[in-house]
Amino acid sequence: MRPMLSLTATAAALVLALGSGALPEDGVWLYRESDPDYRALGVPDSVRLDPDRPRRLVILRGGRVVLDRGLRDEVRPVTNPTPGLEEMLETAELASDHSAAVVHTVLARSDAEAPEGVRVLATRLSWVEPEHPEGRWSVTLEAGRLLRLARVLPRRRGALVSTARDARAPGDLRWYEPSGRLRWEIREDEAGVRTIQLTSLGAFAAVELVYPERPGGPQRGLLVLDLLADRRWSYAWRYGDEREPLVYALDDTGRLELTLADGVYVYDRTGRILEQRRR
């Protein structure tokens, strides 16, 4: 199954504007220190944290840089309780309009008895925006949980996050509000998340699901999220049956187009069928 999310004219214009080197007055940006665009900012030393880090999270407000933060990627030897290596790694997921970002910090340690020789000690998510450059809120995931996916919604509508206990397995789905409140959660024992795709303006999302095996129940699904009205509906199927889609396309009106073996089916934002084009 292949997603084909549409790019609207407004989003295309935004991409062209960002590619021209123009920066908005308020925004969160990610650079490498060697990037010419980063050097052109002329960031003063007074707002640079961890200046030796090559990956830079830059927050602009009122047309000036208010914080230039180096993202950590460091390994150090430890001896307690046993000799080994401890690593701290930070990554950042930005909204498409650069209005906010989620910074993901993971602390891990070498452990011969753990899967792949690494044991996660802590995973933290932090919300960053121009008004709160050092972070509006942070949440530490439950012990042993990893971040699989994060998608920051434009216009500061929060973030869709998928976490799991095994990085190779489908995870849960959570919607965190800009305040840090968890609006809702779908646990992986109900339906596991494989991918999260936002439409170009972030008004809707398509979430590919894997269902736990149950006799006669669905095996795969597509969850459509209306992120403006906080509504959702799903389309489910079993492998090889006539409902299994080959390709899907979701646009910023919530219109879902599914290409099946026998034709094309179009649904509106509520899941109501609009059109059938049989081969």
Contact of 225 with 210, CB cutoff 8 Å: no
Sheet holding 132-140, edge to edge: 73-78, 84-94, 101-110, 118-129, 132-140
* Residues facing 118 on adjacent strands: 110
In 182-230, which ranges are E strands?
A: 182-186, 192-198, 204-210, 220-226
- Residue bearing the bigger pLDDT, 155 or 7: 155
Contact residues for 13 (Cβ-Cβ < 8 A; gap 6+) = none
d(CA 197, CA 2): 11
Q: Rounded to 10 degrees, what is the CA torsion of 179, 200, 69, 136? A: 0
Per-residue pLDDT tens digits for 5-37: 443 334 444 443 444 455 547 899 999 999 999
Q: What's the DSSP call for residue 230?
A: T
d(CA 152, CA 93): 7
Per-residue pLDDT tens digits for 161-203: 999 988 788 999 999 999 999 999 999 999 999 999 999 999 9
Residue of 141, 194, 196, 140 lying closest to 165 (CA atoms)? 141
The per-residue pLDDT of the chain, averaged, comes to 89
Q: What percent of the chain has pLDDT over 70?
A: 91
Contact of 69 with 57, CB cutoff 8 Å: yes
Contact residues for 142 (Cβ-Cβ < 8 A; gap 6+) = none
| Residue found by looking up tokens 């994060």 in the block | 150
Please give the C-alpha separations between residue 186 and each of 160, 235, 276, in angstroms, as whole numbers.
11, 16, 31
* Averaged pLDDT for residues 48-52: 95
d(CA 31, CA 36): 9
Contact of 194 with 209, CB cutoff 8 Å: yes
Per-residue pLDDT tens digits for 115-126: 777 778 899 999
Residue of 81, 52, 57 lying closest to 69 (CA atoms)? 57
